[in-house]
């Protein structure tokens, strides 16, 4: 794309563009809001920026929109460096949590507004408003004012107003967080579908991991201004690079048990006052390589099975609390004083105070260095036998 294609007057609308952040930093005085962010979003991709409050998601979005000046680095939309382009010249459309609709205008006029600014002909405006209104299912609400429609409908109007501009990039900052739980789920599905159909590059900010996992083509997880990991939802869930990512994804989150590493008779054991767990051979190589005295063992609640019978290859625990969700049970246990939550299908529930044994498949274990919180490198797979 050329520079002129991105200016408002010469905007080449309807053409999605990739986005890249290259070593982008933003400081507010002493606060390092975004620290050396390098992230490429492919053309047509839905990238979710995920992280806790204050991790720099909104600041990243605002820098891309041109609402915040960057301290250093380069941001590109298409081939164009947009660092110094004003917001209106970037051909992006934003959808926020607050719908930012004009309350004195009808739904029709709210949708028509971006086209009137571009001085499109009346007939053309009418045609496009009708088309977009049908797409976001608000065609029967065009004569109403925003206060006369529901929250979900208002969100659709906001979405329609963004779509009608045919931007190169959509920026969405927690656009569903004002909706009640049911509507939120519904709109989440709709949004995903719209994005798929429009195939316009979209960057979506949320702190809700379930929203991120269901919407994203790829998720970029941030913490304290630093990008931690980028990847498709399943990949970041299965291969989290550190304890932060592992603990942020999943509900309830991954359990971590910090245990001592002991070598005896050629076997590695993870031990605690009441724990003596033989580390599966699949994992032992990585632990030996890292030569750690202590290890954080991570395992997801859904990967633990529970038994009332003592088992040498399992970890003993005591039931602290049981939550019955109807279709499943969350069993909150303590292992040497450390919390481990287990998620099992509804059935006979253990009782508070029961002594139980937790086991898991070696493939579902995640090992971390408790000091650096980094994942231990997976041992290289055994060389495949080749046919000669
Ligand atoms: P949230 O989910 O709460 O919106 P976020 O991940 O979007 O959080 P940002 O709003 O990007 O986080 O903020 C990142 C950091 O920068 C925070 O520490 C915040 O306090 C700080 N910050 C943001 N805007 C400003 C500002 N205008 N002046 C000073 N500090 C700011």
Residue nearest to atom 16 of ligand 1 (CA): 33
The reported pTM is 0.88
pLDDT of residue 99: 66
User: How far away, in angstroms, is 87 Cα from ligand 1 center?
Assistant: 20
Ligand 1 mutation target, pool 21, 24, 25, 28, most atoms within 8 A of CB: 28
Tokens of 89: 């010249």
Q: Which two tokens stand for residue 197?
A: 């159909």
Average pLDDT over residues 326-352: 95
Q: Which of 261, 225, 260, 271 is nearest to 244 (CA)?
A: 225
pLDDT of 382 over the 50 cut: no
Tell me how far CA of residue 114 lies from CA of 107, 166, 194, in angstroms.
Answer: 13, 10, 19
Q: Give residue 53 CA to ligand 1 midpoint distance, Å.
A: 8
pLDDT tens-digit map of 45-81: 999 999 999 999 999 999 999 999 999 999 999 999 9
Do residues 340 and 334 make contact, with C-beta atoms less than 8 angstroms apart? yes
Which of 6-10, 114-118, 216-220, 293-297 is predicted with the least confidence, judged by mean pLDDT? 6-10
Kindly report the protein residue whose alpha carbon is nearest to atom 24 of ligand 1. Answer: 59
Mean confidence (pLDDT) of the chain: 90
> Is pLDDT at 186 greater than 70 in this prediction?
yes
Question: Going by CA atoms, what residue is nearest to atom 5 of ligand 1?
Answer: 54
Nearest-CA residue for atom 2 of ligand 1: 53
Residues shown for the chain: 388
Ligand 1 centroid to Cα of residue 100, in Å, is 20
What band does 335 get if pLDDT is binned at 50, 70 and 90?
A: very high
Question: Would you say residue 40 has pLDDT above 70?
Answer: yes
Query: How much distance in Å is there from the Cα of 230 to the middle of ligand 1?
Result: 21
102 lines ligand 1 (CB under 6 A): no
Q: Assign 14 a pLDDT band (cuts: 50, 70, 90).
A: low
What strand order describes the sheet that includes 226-231?
Answer: 92-96, 169-173, 201-206, 46-50, 218-223, 226-231
Rounded Cα distance between 22 and 36, Å, is: 8
């Amino acid at each position: 794309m050329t520079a002129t294609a991105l200016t408002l007057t010469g905007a080449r609308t309807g053409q999605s563009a990739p986005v890249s952040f290259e070593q982008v930093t933003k400081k507010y005085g002493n606060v390092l809001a975004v620290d050396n962010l390098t992230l490429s979003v492919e053309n047509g991709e839905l990238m979710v920026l995920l992280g806790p409050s204050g991790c720099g998601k909104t600041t990243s979005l605002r820098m891309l929109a041109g609402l915040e000046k960057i301290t250093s680095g380069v941001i590109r939309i298409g081939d164009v460096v947009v660092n110094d382009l004003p917001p209106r010249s970037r051909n992006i459309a934003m959808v926020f949590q607050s719908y930012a609709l004009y309350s004195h205008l009808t739904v029709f006029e709210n949708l028509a507004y971006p086209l009137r600014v571009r001085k499109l002909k009346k007939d053309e405006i009418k045609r496009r408003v009708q088309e977009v209104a049908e797409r976001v299912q608000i065609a029967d609400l065009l004569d109403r004012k925003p206060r006369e429609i529901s929250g979900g409908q208002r969100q659709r109007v906001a979405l329609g107003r963004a779509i009608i501009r045919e931007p190169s990039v959509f920026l969405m900052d927690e656009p569903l967080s004002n909706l009640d739980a049911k509507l939120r789920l519904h709109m989440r599905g709709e949004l995903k579908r719209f994005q798929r159909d429009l195939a316009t590059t979209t960057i979506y900010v949320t702190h809700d991991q379930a929203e991120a996992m269901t919407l994203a083509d790829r998720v970029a997880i941030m913490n304290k201004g630093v990008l931690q990991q980028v990847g498709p939802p399943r990949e970041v869930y299965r291969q989290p690079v550190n304890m932060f990512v592992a603990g942020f994804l999943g509900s309830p989150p991954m359990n971590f048990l910090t245990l001592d590493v002991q070598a005896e008779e050629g076997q590695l054991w993870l031990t605690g006052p009441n724990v003596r767990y033989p580390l599966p051979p699949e994992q032992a190589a990585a632990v030996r390589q890292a030569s750690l005295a202590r290890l954080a063992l991570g395992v997801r609640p859904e990967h633990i099975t529970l038994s009332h019978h003592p088992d040498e290859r399992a970890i003993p625990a005591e039931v602290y609390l049981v939550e019955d969700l109807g279709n499943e049970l969350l069993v909150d246990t303590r292992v040497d004083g450390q919390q481990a939550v287990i998620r099992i299908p509804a059935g006979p529930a253990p009782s508070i105070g029961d002594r139980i044994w937790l086991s898991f498949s070696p493939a579902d274990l995640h090992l971390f260095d408790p000091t650096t919180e980094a994942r231990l490198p997976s041992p290289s797979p055994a060389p495949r036998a080749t046919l000669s």
